[in-house]
Structure 1
């Protein structure tokens, strides 16, 4: 299935989705009754050809006016008006967590060579699947010393701080990039449905494509009125 992505320039690009969208954030207009937020978010994604499996407690909030929020629990909510959501706190916490994670990663992979992300091997497979089968692509990726170091770290039983293999390219881009990426990704999640229509998500696993999506999504969030609503929905591909 092909999906179109509306970019910040207003153009529409066709691309093949390459990953499951886990958390979709839906923008809804001001005045949407709290009791209707979940149904409206589901309908909005359905109109874009996306299925849902319920709302998610994605946003932080400090307000006591919980009657205007959706599914409040332990400082988290699945949605509500922007002026009652703590988006700044979400971004700050995500950046702090990423900073500690990158410093740990640097220790884990110390002394190893830079590794190629999996999409580089997948591209070789796509270009010539007969000469370079998918099994070899997986094997070549996993056998890189830096990837092996991350896998060994994650394999320790009860590992308190596993390192996400999918973040290899972002880790290697440096401390600042990794922290900024976490800040950008904290609110929009894996996909964003703007009020004006369309669907924003990354075109591929490449870091450049992910940054393109996050820049566009955060620019859209920044221009929303403070009484607009955001709703987080679990949305498998």
Structure 2
């Protein structure tokens, strides 16, 4: 069986920064499932036309195609029930809360902090598409969105619920990581892969959790290529 994951790439084919794809990569590692990673650019819509939509992640598992990170989590739990990601009933509802929390509370502050580094991590052939679609969605230019001080302040406030949980447990899901951790951590991998910005103080319990998450599953996160590792890559903090 060949399991394929279509995964967003940037200025280097090995630079993978989609928070939603990172969720799925951690989920596959959690399940112990092997897969082939297929690099994909924003403008390569035809490559995933078979999925019926135009975004990644797209997981192809034998004859089954699944899109959307949360739906992929649910599919993996149904098809490979060992080591649940989401659980059932109240447990799944908790994980779904963390999905929305990461997307609606954490992502805005992170975006304001790293948006120009993110733009410069996008492959040159994708930058016009990225700028046009994001500026339309945000109602402002990327340069107007870029406000690191404000972004870090927003993120600091949004992290309070995580701090409370991580003061009492190593992971959001308890003694070991699972779906809730991966839902949230995808956005920290997003920032880490495209920027050298320090989002969190090293005295913060969230920082310690990030470090643990980077090392789980054989260091899948820590070993990932970052834009700062790409020779000649431009960074906003150098401007």
Same fold per superposition (TM over 0.5): no
State the structure with bigger RCO (CA 8 A, min sep 6), 1 or 2: 1
Flag the structure with higher strand content: 1
Bigger radius of gyration among the two = 1
Which TM-score bucket, shorter chain as reference? Answer: under 0.3
